[in-house]
Structure 1
Amino acid sequence: MKLVDSHSHLFLDEFRDDLPQVIARAQAAGVTHIFMPNIDSTTVEPMLRVCEEYKGYCFPMIGLHPTSVDAGYKKELAVVAERLAMPDNYVAIGEIGIDLYWDRTFLKEQLLVFEQQVQWALEYGLPVVIHCREAFDYIYNVLEPYKSSPLRGIFHSFTGTLEEAHRLLEFAGFYIGINGVVTFKKSDLPEVLPGVPLNRIVLETDSPYLTPVPNRGKRNESANVKDTLLKVAGIYGKQPEEVACITSENALKVFGMLK
């Protein structure tokens, strides 16, 4: 069984002491590719180091995360622009988007940063990986003018309603990222997902966060994508091997790596 973790932050300090073991467990679980979204200027080098160490297995993105957007956003955006112009084999612009869960102070700046990075994605022909928290309409309104453009990507960590899922699926080149949240007792995703075509789903962990049951409360890691797979397979009433194959192909397609 082959699995893809389309969203994992294995370059963070949480993995500093045992990354080789974490990678070995992912490989043992059948994970063939791990895609790594950047956060801000402080994480670029650690991310690139991990991707260099595990070349051909871990793949870097470049982007500015919405929770890192503040009054100094222009300097942070300049780092993204500079990195995009360098040959570091970035596979996507991410993680980008809008996050109003913690703070709305820099909403205007978040919108500017998001819009700029979407434009860069089109300029460089890269997919986007979008973070949306308490900001669905803002995200949708920024993206709507690009509906008929070649823009493609992943709506990471989707936890919305079926109506929201259908609105996102209006964007033909986009997929919905499902992680450990689907296993949580209070999650609505088991009711929502049957209305979403499986060929528009990708699996992710968001490690070290959002650990699926049965390990909820512990540090998440890429091997745990298997627990999310089993839950999703149950929801769709399909064999895990089939769901693994479809969702992995979806992920490799969006990142332009489907052979």
Structure 2
Amino acid sequence: MDFTEIGERGVVLLGCGKMGGAMLSGWIESGLPPAAVTVLDPEPSDWLAGTGVRLNADLPARPAITLIAVKPQMMGDALPALRGLTDTLYVSVAAGTPIAAFEAAFGPDARIVRAMPNTPAAIGRGITAIIGNANATVADLDMAEALLDAVGEVVRLDAEEQMDAVTGLSGSGPAYVFHMIEAMTEAGTAQGLGRELALRLARATVAGAGALAMTGEEPSQLRIDVTSPNGTTQAGLDVLMAELPDLMARTVEAAADRSRELAA
């Protein structure tokens, strides 16, 4: 990945918690020089202090990208530190914070990209949805995508309103899958397996099925391929398919609705 322009002008990272740290780790592993990154974080971890980034130092005058990775409730206290910047592309990964909030903070001419990554970004397997404001150019979106691509796939949305659905589906989605692993583990122990064995089986099953799903074949066909008529899988699916579609629809809707409430 070519970070030449980004590296020359520098990157500002506001907040380096789990998501900010995942982003920074991905950038460094992809070849962005640590010295090109200025991190603002009030309680830096030992890991962050040892990365070689410029930590809580003076900001570059016109960084290529300023990535905002603080929690929404901390935004009011954190954003004033960025107001002296010029000619930078603001990229926010803060859930539930609309583009309008950053336009209010940085002015109507600010170039802003709103992004929603998910936690597998920590191992380079995330997926991030992005949308820019009216000032963000195609080149801006390309630059944001290049930086976010370091931690996984990037998709572009047609409208900011879609971000709530993305939040409900992929942003919150890893937690749904983790809970499914928990439930599968408990189901296995109920059938006589030891907990450690059940957990190992559940983890490997979900990870392996996920890898198969990424081959590009339709999930419905993959399901059919593993389901013998009147067999054991069919017996299980008869129970699961009667309830899961509605349950998942309500789950994603609840998370999306909460995202809309946070943005209001």
Which one has the largest radius of gyration? 2
TM-score (norm 1): 0.33
Larger relative CO (CA 8 A, sep 6+): 1 or 2?
1
TM-score (norm 2): 0.33
